[in-house]
Amino acid sequence: MIFQDRFKDKVAIVTGAAQGIGKGVAERLAKEGAKVILVDRADIVLQVTEELKTEGFDALAIQADLETFAGFEKVVAETLKAYQKIDILINNVGGTIWAKPFQHYKEDEIIKEINRSLFPTLWGCQSVLQPMIDNKGGVIINVSSIATRSINRVPYAAAKGGVNAITASLAFEQAANNIRVVAIATGGTEAPARIIPRNEKPMSAEEKIWYQEIVDQTRESTLQKKYGQIEDQVNAILFAASDEAKYITGVTIPVSGGDLG
């Protein structure tokens, strides 16, 4: 359901906006009145943004590597140049690259998982704080995961545990500045095949077995025994970012069919 003008005149940055949940969030924000900055390092973010602009929505594409502080500083600078303020940040970048028992991870793989699923959120939160303070408030939504209690993805779990900790601590620290910080812990979510996969190498036969174990465990851990839809995550993220949730901050909300992670 689209709420007309729920985000009218709000300036919202959405990271990982080229596909999946991020794309869904960016599209809905635009349709509900926001000026949307779609951020991704993939070229397809340009196409997604052009489609929104063709429909008459106010959208800006920025390509950046959000695993670096400089990448996020670029996003903030270009957003302020275009719109002079930042009201909302949706930290959506992240996702499991490998799926296997922890003893099979290599050192560089662990580092890449943390860089992918923790640092973009950390840099994002830090980069938007001063603009939000100058703007007398703002909302940060961190997309987390119930995989903090899962199998075959310990480094990813560690990263998302960090996201939850950032959410709680930053909300405590910034409440006096009228900045809310909320995490949405996504459960298993059905989505179209990624146009650009997180892992460029095809899975081996053994890795396919390990990945299927994640799928089976995720379904079994939910009360509803099924995956959700992208729309389920988008609905929760937009609610948390809206004024309807103005008395909610510092918490991680599971959207996972009853799996608390």
- Using CA atoms, how far apart are residues 66 and 84, in angstroms rounded to an integer? 21
- Concatenating the DSSP letter of every residue in 199-258 gives S-SPPPHHHHHHHHHHHHHHHHHSSS-S-EEHHHHHHHHHHHHSGGGTT--S-EEEESTT
How many other C-beta atoms lie within 10 A of the C-beta of residue 190? 10
Reduced to 3 states, what is the DSSP secondary structure of residue 129? helix
Residue 62: what are its φ and ψ, rounded to 5°?
A: -135, 125
- Among 83, 105, 156, 211, the one annotated catalytic: 156
CB 174 within 8 A of CB 129: yes
156 catalytically annotated = yes
Cα 154 to Cα 96, 97, 105, 161, 235: the distances in Å are 10, 11, 9, 10, 28
**Torsion angle of alpha carbons 74, 76, 78, 80, nearest 10°?**
-150
Q: Which residues are catalytic?
A: 156
